[in-house]
A and B are shown apart, each in its own frame.
Chain A
């Protein structure tokens, strides 16, 4: 008689898995089926309580689960077990006991299902298989499970011991050479973190040495695996293993064809491996030259310089051994001349000069089209060789079209003289006259540039429908700060409109805002743009303005404060940085809008931008201020401060005249900001904003005298000093920025120009605020004070530098580089530091953005190449030249102007103590040599020349230094004219765009 329901229930209630298994011993399938439904129900019920909180904060596995798992395995049908999946699998010994007793017909299917879910069930399935309870599951996870040395073979001290304990597994080993595996289960992944005795490589070599596994098959299987183009990491195990078997030359000779075939592999290390093996055969004179010539092709197209060079060496030796193959050798080698590396190109030319047959028309045809792509230093050599061959197309000649020059000069003449001077057109014209390639960079005053581009005027929201649409959009996408500003402005102006169907029309928006608030941080305390927008929506649509409440200082990090917020649905908790930031300032502005929106008190916003970038047309601000005055309303002080800081430099005189009618202290600050003379009032924050708007880069003595010691960018303009320090006990360096005047003891929310500067960090501070600023937050913060971005860069630099090697995925960091792309942002010291760091960043998005900025800055004349070079030299301890060469090289490919600029930048890098020159300097020098050769220039920077003369180098670096010092300037090189004309064209273009803004 089988177990009863009561017995099963008792066993389940006790959570005794063993007792439960015993209960079913010898039971018939009918007895089991009778209890299946009950067991199934009990197991599914327990799923909701898989883990129980035994003590506060500590969760442990529900002890009743084990017995429930046994019960379902012992009773349920296969279809029920399929639904339960791994929830019906108890500990393996008990599972084995239950199944061995039950012996269901579906056991093989069940085993397959289990393995498909996870290879870790290998041991249980193997136990069943060895007892003929199930058939061998023919799925990859069976063999991958075998790899799990901790689970499958972990009882043994070594993989070898585990395999010998189950000798049948020795026959299964071969499948491991056929399946790739995955991140967790593969030979490479297993061996990477194992002790030597725990490695599969060690075990298989030992078993081969002992004669338990055939050596020849292991050698062949590893080559078979390499031919399968597994992912690089996983493929590398097989090449290592092949070499670990230490094949003899005779064994390698037998497999020469296989090595040759591996030259076609898509996996670069496999190609290198094959080349090494072929090199051994070549040295032993066992490699037929014909085979090399026939198969080497794919290796010549490899991206890796070393691989191509090795392939060329093999070809060289093949030609030496069998001279009648010289023609095919040179034709094959010619393919490699398209490689990017000058070293490879040089090796190709060496080989061709050594083995090339005179008047080989086909070879000339192969090489001819590549001449223009060749490194500048090698072009004359190739050209000389080509000229000795018949049937070579004539060298392409280019010249500057005189019509282009005339057209440019005509455009230049039409420009306003002041604008032309400001945009550096005059300098460029002088350089054209003197045929001088080096141009002074533009060092413009941000106040001198017109900013208001009519094409980029912000269109205010016109009606309620548009407001609802745009608001709904910014709740999903906050990336455009101008859209955020349009919404704030729209709510501020239209919040008194309440048509009958208002609730129906705004219902979805309200719901969405409340959904966000129930999940994230609370609004109005500086937690980000989304939270603030949701807070505004709630106020406008529900009439509720709820502020988060601070509960306490964080237990472990006193720079964090713990808050809670009543989101109308639930109470959410979140952290906030203890000091106010520009984000808090923006929150306060949103809060002011929310308070008015909640009561339907509509009014225009003073600080709503009139143009993209956050700029306000001064005339428009005056109009708004007068409108508010006519309505007998006072603007919010945060809005007033924000409005002053967004004042564009355009039309200030006109605005100043109109601003005479604005009353009160705000009126005084507006006039002062616009350049008027006013007595300094008492509202320190308003006057600080006015002083910074009046002239962002200079000290304002009057404001400083009245409101002294308020910190950087208050009365006094901030000055920065950067330093690179080595972190204690690490090889890493850190960048810190000191600001003068020093930061204040108390941070005042309304003095936002001070807040935009770097804040001192406590030594143990980990959760500093910057890392929690999203892309949208950063973009919004950029609009707070668009005129002066040095403080922005100074604050951003440590954050960016600390993640230069991308040890943490901080995707928002690339936003820090965005302002560099603006042609109207001057590249001052902090901006240059940011650009330099970006060029050396590991993350391709960051380095790519910096490269874009560099390309643009060379074109528009903002870049002082020597200053950037000096900045890179200053950062030398923390940046890698290999990365720098990549980004600078990309920029140099754009135009002759960029080649010249990059050559100047690199010369700027060559300063300091030559004795401590970085080890990876060679690549930089190579780029310098190619750039100078291309331009027909010499090393003209005295400091760089001195540096090169004193440097103690050997080998390739020493050769490069000699070649660099030997370079001489070529008179009137055409390419320099092209560079000059490009510079002139871009400067004229910029001047014309400024003129359009003034119209």
Chain B
């Protein structure tokens, strides 16, 4: 993968494994990063071991996948990030992001899935090595399987000799996508709701090959069907092969919920089990990673949240559901202001969004994300334009603002009005704002805010 990257070192005290013990199997997940070097989050027993193992295998499948690159490139790309796990009030959340930045998956283990005690709260990486993933396949529901996430200090000291270290270049677009996907989820609305058995049947009916075009999944009787026509009832899905990840898992589900945002053609597919949930978030197409969509650029460009952000950030205490009305009341702010602040915090990797709960949750990605925000290409370009004094406001009449912004060999005309922003550049002409503002619009917005401050 070309482009700038964050060189990140995974340093696990031991390799994750499924080990046989006298009392049954033990799934030991090694952790690294976050608030502590090797945090210890959980120790207990899985109540439905096979189902949990299948969910984690599904998550592993996403980590391994790159949906739009020729297989010849896979070896180089598969050396990528491990999932991250967040331990909060009562939910263990495992998050993974595909190498192509187009698919995000999250497994939520609810209290019914685990019988044990949370030992700590926080977010950390978890080793998902191939041998451990393969071993998950042999777990059956009747087995007794203990789960440990991290290890006690004593055990860590005993295992010092088996440290697993892996240096991985995490592309910035991957990191950007991982954080921006939260903003997408927050905008999605419920669209489809069917029983698990019907969902299973639907996933099995999906075409085996790669479907390049965008399709619409629409209700048909009790189940769903794939249509090639856009419809108001349907949910647009590009790169439908990504849904096949859910085929094996759907047999465990009692319900399938689909959330979507029509304008961006993004969707989230949630398999609801009695004791867990599996979220699969899809970008509009396999070649359109979440990083390139620029949905949070306007928030990042502006500084309207400067005062709100630190206060909201200070209130984060590993909540599994952040209560927006309560925060709004606490800070005497509107709910929209809190939501906007959370959106920016999401773009900084400090909160995630849980569609099933309809709420943000606190989690701090264990990566240094300071560069991610700095290197938003469009934002960076907009700032460069301003440094070169490439933007000039030529007209300001009521709500209409016109500006000329330097382009390549030509000047672009930017108009901001109550109807939205417009620009004469090819990017805007192509996407008409659906993939976020162009750099010219961003430059004018930043310029205007600077003028207002003065």
Interface residues of A (CB under 8 A from B): 116, 140-141, 144, 181-185, 227-229, 231, 261, 264-266, 294-295, 297, 301, 303, 338, 340, 369-370, 373, 468-469, 472-473, 475-477, 504-505, 507-509, 511-512, 811, 814, 821, 843-845, 848-849, 852, 890, 893-895
Contacts and interface: CB of A to CB of B under 8 A. Distances in A.
Interface in B146-205: 197, 200-201, 204-205
A508 B212 contact: no
A294 B404 CA distance: 72
Nearest to A844: B207
Interface in B239-284: 247-248, 251
Interface stretch (B32-40, B66-74, B372-380, B441-449): B66-74
Contact of A811 (B212, B225, B227): B212
B432 interface: yes
B422 A229 contact: no
B201 A340 contact: yes
A141 B75 contact: yes
A370 B200 CA distance: 13
B329 interface: no
Nearest to B208: A844
Q: Which 9 A-B pairs have the closest CB atoms?
A: A472-B429, A183-B71, A476-B430, A844-B207, A508-B424, A849-B228, A264-B137, A183-B72, A848-B228
B221 interface: yes
B57 interface: yes
A303 B225 CA distance: 18
Contacts of B228: 814, 845, 848-849, 852
B407 A508 contact: yes
Contacts of B413: 504-505, 508
B138 interface: yes
B211 A473 contact: no
A373 B215 contact: no
B243 to A, nearest CB: 13
B137 A181 contact: no
A890 B72 contact: no
A140 B229 contact: no
Given A183-B70, A373-B201, A893-B225, A472 B424 contact: yes
B307 interface: no
B76 interface: yes
Interface of B: 57, 61, 70-76, 130, 133-134, 137-138, 140, 142, 197, 200-201, 204-205, 207, 209, 211-213, 215, 220-221, 223, 225-229, 247-248, 251, 404, 407, 409-413, 422, 424-426, 428-430, 432
A509 B425 CA distance: 8
B76 A116 contact: yes
B137 to A, nearest CB: 4
Contacts of A228: 130, 133-134
A116 B75 CA distance: 9
B24 to A, nearest CB: 15
Nearest to B130: A228
20 contacts: A140-B75, A264-B138, A266-B248, A303-B204, A338-B200, A472-B424, A473-B430, A504-B413, A507-B424, A511-B409, A512-B426, A814-B213, A821-B229, A844-B207, A848-B211, A848-B228, A849-B228, A852-B229, A890-B205, A893-B220
B381 to A, nearest CB: 16
Q: Is the interface of A mostly helix, strand, loop or mixed?
A: helix
Contacts of A893: 220-221, 223, 225
Contacts of B209: 843-844
Nearest to A227: B134
A229 B134 contact: yes
Nearest to B142: A294
Q: Is the interface of B mostly helix, strand, loop or mixed?
A: mixed
A512 B407 CA distance: 12
A490 to B, nearest CB: 15
Contacts of B247: 303
**Which of A295, A511, A845: most chain B CB closer than 10 A?**
A845
Nearest to B227: A852
Contacts of B412: 508
Contacts of A504: 404, 411, 413
Contacts of B74: 182-183
Contact of A468 (B229, B410, B424): B424
A301 B251 contact: yes
B137 A229 contact: yes
Contacts of B248: 266, 301
Nearest to B409: A511
Contacts of B138: 227, 261, 264
Contacts of A821: 229
B430 to A, nearest CB: 4
Nearest to A294: B140
Contact of A295 (B70, B140, B226): B140
Nearest to B138: A261
A473 B221 contact: no
Nearest to B428: A472
Contacts of B213: 811, 814, 845
B215 A182 contact: no
A955 B432 CA distance: 61
Contacts of A303: 204, 247
A1 to B, nearest CB: 42
Contacts of A890: 205, 225
Given A294-B142, A508-B407, A845 B430 contact: no
Nearest to A472: B429
Given A231-B71, A301-B251, A814-B213, 6 more contacts: A185-B75, A228-B130, A294-B140, A301-B248, A512-B429, A844-B207
A887 B61 CA distance: 29
A681 B413 CA distance: 52
Contacts of B134: 227-229
B170 to A, nearest CB: 17
Contact of B72 (A182, A264, A507): A182
A844 B422 contact: no
Contacts of A508: 407, 410-413, 424-426
Nearest to A183: B71
A369 B195 CA distance: 12
A874 B85 CA distance: 59
A227 B134 CA distance: 6
B72 A895 contact: no
Contacts of A511: 409-410
A182 B77 CA distance: 11
A972 B197 CA distance: 31
B127 to A, nearest CB: 16
A116 B169 CA distance: 14
A338 B196 CA distance: 12
A845 B71 CA distance: 23
A265 B134 CA distance: 9
Given A261-B138, A814-B213, A894-B220, A472 B207 contact: no
Nearest to A504: B411
Given A181-B75, A182-B71, A340-B201, A472 B221 contact: no
A644 to B, nearest CB: 31
Given A504-B411, A848-B215, A890-B205, A509 B430 contact: no
A845 B211 contact: yes
A720 B119 CA distance: 78
B131 to A, nearest CB: 8
Nearest to A506: B424
A894 B72 contact: no
B267 to A, nearest CB: 18
Contacts of A472: 424, 426, 428-429
Contacts of A845: 211-213, 215, 228
B197 A475 contact: no
A183 B407 CA distance: 42
Contacts of B411: 504, 507-508
Contacts of A814: 213, 228
Contacts of B57: 266
A473 B227 contact: no
Contacts of A849: 228-229
A848 B212 CA distance: 12
